[in-house]
Homo-oligomer: A and B are copies of this chain.
Amino acid sequence: MAGTYGVIMAGGSGTRFWPLSRAARPKQLLPLGGGDEALLVATARRLTKILPEDHILIVTSEALAEQTRAALPNVPAENVLTEPVGRNTAPCVGWAASVVARKDPEAVLAILPADHHIEDETTFAEVLERSVQAARLGEMVTVGIKPTRPETGYGYVELGEEITPAVFRARRFVEKPDELRARQFLAAGRFLWNSGMFFFRADVLLAAVKTHLPGLSDALTRYDEAALRGQEQALVKSTYQTLPNISIDHGVMEKAARVAVIPGDFGWSDVGSWTSAWELAPRDTNDNAFFGEVVPVDAHRCYVRAPEGKVVAVVGLDDVVVVDTPDALLVMPRSRAQDVRSVVDALKKSALKKHL
Q: Which residues of A contact B (CB under 8 A)?
A: 18-19, 293, 295, 297-298, 306, 309-317, 320, 322, 324, 326-333, 335-336, 339-340, 342-343, 346-347, 350, 352, 355
Contact = CB atoms under 8 A, between A and B. Distances in A.
A327 B313 contact: no
A332 B302 CA distance: 12
A172 to B, nearest CB: 37
Contacts of A355: 311
Pick the 8 closest A-B CB pairs, nearest first: A315-B332, A316-B336, A313-B343, A312-B329, A311-B355, A297-B342, A313-B330, A315-B339
Chain A at the B interface: mostly helix, strand, loop or mixed?
mixed
A312 B295 contact: no
Nearest to A313: B343
A315 B329 contact: no
Contact of A314 (B317, B331, B352): B331
Contacts of A315: 330-333, 336, 339-340, 342-343
A16 to B, nearest CB: 13
A97 B349 CA distance: 59
A295 B335 CA distance: 18
Contact of A329 (B313, B332, B347, B350): B313
Contacts of A317: 331-333
A352 B84 CA distance: 46
Nearest to A339: B315
Contacts of A333: 315-317
B313 A331 contact: yes
A293 B324 contact: no
Contacts of A339: 297-298, 315-316
B310 A328 contact: yes
A347 B294 CA distance: 10
A184 to B, nearest CB: 30
